[in-house]
Structures are given as C-alpha cells and as structure tokens.
C-alpha cells in the first residue's frame, strides 16, 4: 500500500497514529497542527513534513487524511479542508471520534464522497511511545464502503482488529467506552480522596490498590460482571452500607450521589444473579434511595 497520508491534529491520537503507521511501513507525508512544536514533535515520530496550515498539503489533496482534532473541532476542520480545496475525489477523509458519524464530514461532500470514521478502542494518554498501543486493539469503522475497506486493510497492517459499527450505534458504544475508561479514572480519583487517611506515600498507595483493581478487571473480563461482583451489596450487608452512607453524608457529601447510584446498579446485578433475598433487596433499595430516613 502506498497511500499519501496526512494527519491534521498532532495531539494524543494524531501522534500515536503517526508512529503506528510509520512502524507498519506506511508513509505519513504531512502532519498539520496549529501548534508548530506539536506538529514538529509528531512529524519526528514518522519522518513526515510538519506544517501549521493546510497550505502545505498538495493541490487536490493526499490520498488519505486523518482528522485527529478534538470532536468539537471536526466539522470546522472538514469545512476548512473543503474551503482550501485540499481534498479531491480521490481523497479519503477519516475522523477518529467514537461518538460522531462520518456524516459530520458533510462539508467535504462536494469534493469527495470517501468519508469515514475510525475509532480506536484504546486510551492514549501520552504522545511518544503510544504507537505500540494500536497493536491488538479493536477499531470501530463506519462510513463509505471503499474507505472502510481501505481502513480495514490499514488496521490489519497496524495489527489491530477492525470491526464495523453503524452510525446509529455509535453514541451508546462511545458512552460505554467513556464509562469503562474515563469514568474508571474518575472512580479511582474518588477512591484516592477517600484514602487520604492512609498514611503511605502516593506511589505506595497506588501499589496497594493495584491487586484489587487488576483482579477485579480480570474477573469481569473472565466471567462477566455478575460473577465478578463481591462486596457488601452482593452479601446484603445493610449495616455496612448504612455506615458508608452516614460517613459519606457527614464527611464527603460530594461522593454520596456517586456511591448511591452505583450501588443501586449493583443491587440490580446481585438480584439478577440470585444473590439477594427479596427482603435484602427491599432493604437495600430503601436505604440507597432514602439515605436520610
Ligand atoms: N485520546 C484518546 O484516548 C482517544 C481515543 C480514541 C479516540 N480519540 C479521538 O481522537 C480525536 C483526537 O483526540 P485526542 O485525544 O488526540 O485530542 P488532543 O490530544 O486534544 O489532540 C488534538 C490536537 O488537535 C489540534 N487541533 C485542534 N483544532 C485543530 C485544527 N483546527 N487544526 C489543526 N489542529 C487542531 C490540537 O491543538 P491545540 O492543543 O492547540 O488545541 C491538538 O494538538 C478525537 O476525535 C477523539 O475523540 C481519542
């Protein structure tokens, strides 16, 4: 495959994708970012030409452009590309949002019909060494058929696992990704706040929680959430939950709602698993829905 590839947006996904394409033997020719230093840093990962404006791109456009800008900037970037006439009939334009459909690229329709979305199911938190994180991951593809077929081939070159997703399924799919990744980080942060009374250095606290976190995730992946569920809700320990609710209401009211909402979800899960008696379920629901009574 010898596509001329350009990336617009030298952030986390842009930089890691540039590195991954390069290591897969694909040639990234241009990296555009309004921040010259970011464009240079990403270009250095793949031997591309860095640029701060679209003017660097060839007339009529390269064969493949990845728009790796934030979701809210994708429509404007597509309009900018259309206005600059940097995408022609042979140019495939692809964005990387998990929630937006390829149709968000509609401003480009007068120039090219080859529009698609490609969402890597991965969390890219850094910029430099992240190219390895494309290996073995699933990549959701959606959009114009010929472009999706091209992306399937590229995904396989990246040693990733492409799959197709309909535009209508993207929102729920992306909320799931956010719950599993970003909200997990939020939960970790809330737990960190609650661990303020444990007098250990920060690194040791992270090491202390690691087996719990890793084993829980391993159990969910091996057997599903029902079988992985442990803890006071699954045992119907209303006394413990009462104590938790009281402590949160008194000391950390900001975390009370989070605890109640998630615990109610766990009651439903424990019920489905046949782990609670009818009385235990009723007591837990009453407690969690009306913690003040
Ligand atoms: N990070 C992840 O884990 C992840 C995973 C899957 C999918 N995605 C998707 O990947 C896309 C990029 O996300 P990201 O996390 O890589 O974002 P990011 O780290 O914030 O990077 C976005 C980059 O685009 C630049 N930019 C913004 N508007 C631009 C424009 N009009 N022209 C040129 N460059 C522009 C930004 O520059 P400034 O810094 O100057 O604003 C920044 O360098 C999003 O669609 C996101 O949903 C992200």
pLDDT in tens, 138-158: 999 999 999 999 999 999 999
162 Cβ inside 6 Å of ligand 1? no
Asked whether residue 95 falls in the same domain as residue 11, the answer is yes
Cα-flanking dihedrals φ and ψ of residue 6, to 5°?
Answer: -125, 145
127 or 177: which leads in pLDDT: 177
Our mutation pick for probing the ligand 1 site, out of 8, 17, 33, 184, counting the most ligand atoms within 8 A of Cβ, is 33
Asked whether residue 53 falls in the same domain as residue 166, the answer is yes
What's the gap in Å between 97 CA and the centre of ligand 1? 9
Is 9 within 8 Å of 22 (Cβ atoms)? no
Which atom in ligand 1 lies closest to the alpha carbon of residue 32? 33
**pLDDT exceeds cutoff 60 at 196:** yes
Asked whether residue 210 falls in the same domain as residue 273, the answer is yes
Cα-flanking dihedrals φ and ψ of residue 22, to 5°?
Answer: -60, -50
Between CA 34 and CA 54 the distance in angstroms is 10
**pLDDT exceeds cutoff 60 at 98:** yes
pLDDT of res. 29: 96
Asked whether residue 15 falls in the same domain as residue 120, the answer is yes
Asked whether residue 54 falls in the same domain as residue 149, the answer is yes
Beta-carbon contacts of 73 under 8 Å, excluding residues fewer than 6 positions away, are 9
- Other beta carbons within 10 angstroms of residue 96's beta carbon come to 23
Give the model's confidence band at 130: pLDDT under 50 very low, under 70 low, under 90 confident, else very high: confident
For residues 213-238, average pLDDT: 98
Asked whether residue 167 falls in the same domain as residue 183, the answer is no
Asked whether residue 184 falls in the same domain as residue 166, the answer is no
For residues 57-74, average pLDDT: 93
pLDDT of res. 2: 59
Is 12 within 8 Å of 127 (Cβ atoms)? yes
Give the model's confidence band at 41: pLDDT under 50 very low, under 70 low, under 90 confident, else very high: very high
Q: Are strands 49-51 and 92-95 parallel, antiparallel or unpaired?
A: unpaired
pLDDT of res. 178: 98
Q: Residue 149: which domain range?
A: 5-171
Q: Which of 171, 191, 206 is the last residue of a domain?
A: 171
**Model pTM greater than 0.85?**
yes
For residues 183-211, average pLDDT: 97
Q: Which of 171, 196, 212 is the last residue of a domain?
A: 171
For residues 148-176, average pLDDT: 98
Asked whether residue 23 falls in the same domain as residue 52, the answer is yes
Cα–Cα distances (Å) from 32 to 117, 125, 288, in that order, read 19, 20, 51
For residues 10-18, average pLDDT: 96
Give the model's confidence band at 61: pLDDT under 50 very low, under 70 low, under 90 confident, else very high: confident
Between CA 70 and CA 33 the distance in angstroms is 12
For residues 29-56, average pLDDT: 96
Between CA 176 and CA 169 the distance in angstroms is 11
pLDDT of res. 1: 57
15 Cβ inside 6 Å of ligand 1? no
């Amino acid at each position: 495959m010898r596509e001329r590839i350009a990336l617009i947006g030298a952030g986390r996904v842009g930089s890691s994708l540039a590195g991954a394409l390069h290591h897969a033997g694909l040639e990234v020719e241009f990296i555009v970012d309004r921040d010259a230093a970011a464009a240079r840093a990403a270009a250095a990962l793949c031997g591309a030409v860095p640029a701060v404006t679209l003017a660097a791109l060839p007339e009529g456009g390269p064969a493949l452009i990845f728009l790796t800008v934030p979701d809210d900037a994708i429509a404007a970037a597509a309009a900018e590309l259309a206005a600059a006439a940097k995408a022609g009939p042979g140019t495939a334009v692809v964005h990387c949002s998990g929630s937006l459909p390829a149709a968000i690229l509609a401003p480009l329709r007068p120039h090219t019909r080859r529009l698609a979305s490609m969402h890597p199911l991965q969390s890219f938190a850094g910029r430099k060494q992240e190219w390895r994180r494309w290996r073995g991951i699933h990549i959701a593809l959606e959009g114009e058929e010929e472009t999706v077929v091209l992306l399937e081939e590229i995904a396989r070159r990246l040693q990733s696992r492409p799959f197709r997703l309909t535009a209508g399924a993207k929102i729920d799919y992306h909320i799931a990704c956010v719950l599993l990744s970003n909200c997990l980080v939020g939960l970790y942060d809330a737990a960190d706040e609650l661990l303020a009374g444990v007098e250990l250095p920060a690194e040791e606290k992270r090491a202390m929680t690691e087996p719990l976190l890793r084993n829980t995730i391993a159990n969910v992946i091996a057997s599903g959430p029902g079988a992985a569920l442990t803890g006071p809700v699954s045992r119907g320990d209303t006394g413990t939950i009462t104590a938790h609710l009281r402590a949160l209401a008194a000391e950390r009211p900001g975390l009370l709602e989070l605890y109640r909402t998630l615990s109610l979800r766990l009651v439903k899960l424990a019920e489905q698993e046949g782990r609670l008696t009818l009385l235990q379920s009723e007591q837990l629901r009453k407690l969690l829905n009306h913690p003040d009574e």
